[in-house]
Structure 1
Amino acid sequence: MTLRRWTRPGWEGILRSLRYWLTPGMGIKRWLVLLLVGITELALALAYVLVTIYREQPLPPIFYYITLQFIPRLGRAALFGLLGLVTTGFALLRLNRTLLSPFLQPGRDVAEILHRHRQRERGPRIVVIGGGTGQSTLLRGLKGVSARLTAVVTVADDGGSSGRLRREMGLLPPGDFRNCLAALAEAEPLMTALFQYRFGRGTGLNGHAFGNLFIAAMAEITGSFERAVAESSRVLAVRGQVLPCTVEHVILAAEIRDAEGRIHRVDGESAIPEVRGRIERVWLIPEHARAYPETIRAILEADLIVLGPGSLYTSVLPNLLVEGIVPAIRASRALKVYVCNVATQIGETDGYTVADHVRAIERHVGVGLFDLVLVNSRVDVPWEEIPEEVGELVRWDGQPIPPYTVVAMDVIDERMPWRHDPEKLARALMTLFERSRR
Structure 2
Amino acid sequence: MAKDIKIAAIGGGTGLPVLLRGLKHYTGDITAIVTVADDGGSSGKLTESTGMLPPGDFRNNIAALSESEELFQLLLQYRFGDKEGLGGHAFGNLLITAMSAIYGSFEDGILNTSRVLAVRGRVLPSTLEAVTLCAEVAANEPAVAGTDLRHVRGESNLSQTHGRIRRLSLDPVQARAFPGAIEAILRADLIVAGPGSFFTSTMPNLIVEGIRAALLAAKAPKVFVANILNQEGETDGFTLVDYLQCLDRHGLGMFTHVVVNNRRLTSGNWPNLEWIQGWAKEGHIDAQCVEADLIDDQVPWRHDARKLARTVMAMVDA
TM-score tier, shorter chain, comes to: over 0.9
RMSD over aligned Cα, in angstroms? 1.6
**1:237-279 deviations in Å (ceiling 9; x for gaps):** 0000000000000000111122496221111000110121111
Partners of 1:165 and 1:301 in 2: CA distance = 33
Aligned partner of residue 27 in structure 2, secondary structure: coil
CA distance in 2, matches of 1:127, 1:184: 13
Residue aligning to 1:331: 217
Cα separation, 2, equivalents of 1:120 and 1:404: 26
Q: Which of 228, 244, 249 is residue 358 of structure 1 equivalent to?
A: 244
State the Cα distance separating 1:416 from its structure 2 match. 1.1
1:418 partner amino acid? W
> In the alignment, what sits opposite 2:178?
292
- 236, 246, 259: which one pairs with 1:374? 259
Query: Could you tell me which residue of structure 1 aligns to residue 99 of structure 2?
Result: 218
Paired residues for 1:95-106 under 5 Å = none
Secondary structure class of the residue paired with 1:412: coil
Identity rate, percent: 50
Does residue 301 (structure 1) correspond to residue 182 (structure 2)? The answer is no
Task: Report Cα offsets for 1:295-317 as digits up to 9, x if no partner.
Answer: 11111100000011111111111
Residue in structure 1 matched with residue 278 of structure 2 by the alignment = 396
Say which SS state the counterpart of residue 414 (structure 1) adopts: coil
Question: After superposition, where does 1:13-32 map in structure 2 within 5 Å?
Answer: none
2:314 is aligned with 1:431: yes
1:48-87 aligned at under 5 Å gives the runs none
Indicate if the aligned counterparts of 2:114 and 2:122 stay in contact, CA closer than 8 A. Answer: yes
* CA deviation map 1:124-153 (0-9, x unaligned): 100001112110100000011100000000
Establish whether residue 135 from structure 1 lines up as the match of residue 21 from structure 2. no
Report what 1:161 is aligned to.
Answer: 42
Letter in 2 for 1:145: Y
Quickly say closer, same or farther: Cα 1:259–1:384, change in 2 above 3 A: farther
The alpha carbon displacement at 1:418 in A equals: 1.1
Deviation, 1:339, is 0.6
**Structure 1: 5+ residue stretches without partners:** 1-118
Cα gap change, 1:430/1:259 in structure 2, threshold over 3 Å: closer, same or farther? closer
Partner of 1:321: 207
Read off the aligned partner of 1:407 and give its amino acid letter: V
Q: What residue in structure 2 maps to residue 148 of structure 1?
A: 29
Cα shift at 1:350? 0.1
Instruction: Tell me the TM-score normalised to structure 1 length.
Output: 0.69
Contact 1:250 1:284 in 2 (8 A): yes
Give the equivalent residue in structure 2 for 1:208: 89
- Counterpart position of 2:53: 172
Moved more, 200-209 or 282-291: 200-209
C-alpha deviation, 1:120, in angstroms: 4.7
Evaluate the alpha carbon distance shift between residue 383 and residue 295 of structure 1 in structure 2; reply closer, same or farther with a 3 A threshold.
Answer: farther
- Letter in structure 2 aligned against 1:396: G
Q: Per chain length, whose mean CA-contact separation is higher, i.e. which structure has more relative contact order (CA < 8 Å, sep 6+)? A: 2
Separation of aligned partners in 1, 2:268 and 2:102? 50
Q: Which residue of 2 aligns with 1:386?
A: 270
Counterpart contact for 2:241–2:279, Cα < 8 Å? no
AA partner of residue 174 (structure 2): H
Partner residue of 2:115 out of 227, 234, 256 = 234
Q: Secondary structure of the equivalent of 1:264?
A: strand
Rounded Cα–Cα distance in structure 1 between residues aligned with 2:270 and 2:85: 35
Q: How many Å apart are 1:205 and its aligned residue?
A: 0.7
Distance 2:310 2:248 in 1: 27
Per the TM alignment, residue 331 of structure 1 is displaced from its structure 2 partner at its CA by 1.0
For the 8 Å contact 1:120–1:148, the answer to whether it is kept is no
Aligned partner of 2:161 among 275, 281, 285: 275
Compute the displacement of 1:397 (Å).
4.4
Distance 1:246 1:387 in 2: 40
CA shift for structure 1 position 396: 1.1
Q: Distance in 1 between matches of 2:169 and 2:10?
A: 17
